[in-house]
């Protein structure tokens, strides 16, 4: 996630500087803490299986470092979870898609707060 380029969208693809990103769902196969002996927060390695339309599936490794600007804003998945990823077919780079509410911690918390508020407003069913 060491990309600090401007975001823009054109023809269904996202452009970050010289990259042309495609939004794909991916299954997290593995989540591993790197350097667990160091104090938290920890860098993490995610092994992700992606399948671009019309292409065979492939597996990539994605490292997320605490120094990455979006580290604290990403709802970091566990193995088995499906999340949205941005993939650049030219470079092979992959990053978490923060536009995906499954990845965006702030969006997840807002949705949870809204659900809790809705439950508080409902009369008891008993």
Residue 102 CA to residue 85 CA, distance in Å, equals: 10
Entry pTM? 0.74
pLDDT, tens digit (0-9, with 9 covering 90-100), for 6-65: 344 433 445 555 668 999 999 999 999 999 999 889 999 999 999 988 889 999 999 999
């Amino acid at each position: 996630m060491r990309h600090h380029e401007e975001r823009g969208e054109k023809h269904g693809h996202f452009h970050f500087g010289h990259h042309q990103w495609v939004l794909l769902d991916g299954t997290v196969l593995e989540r591993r803490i790197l350097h667990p002996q160091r104090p938290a927060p920890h860098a993490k390695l995610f092994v992700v299986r992606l399948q671009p339309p019309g292409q065979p599936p492939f597996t990539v490794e994605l490292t997320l470092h605490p120094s990455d600007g979006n580290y604290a804003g990403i709802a970091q998945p566990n193995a088995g979870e499906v999340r949205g990823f941005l993939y650049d077919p030219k470079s092979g780079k992959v990053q978490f898609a923060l536009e995906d509410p499954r990845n965006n911690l702030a969006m997840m918390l807002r949705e949870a707060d809204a659900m809790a508020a809705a439950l508080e407003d409902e009369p008891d069913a008993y």
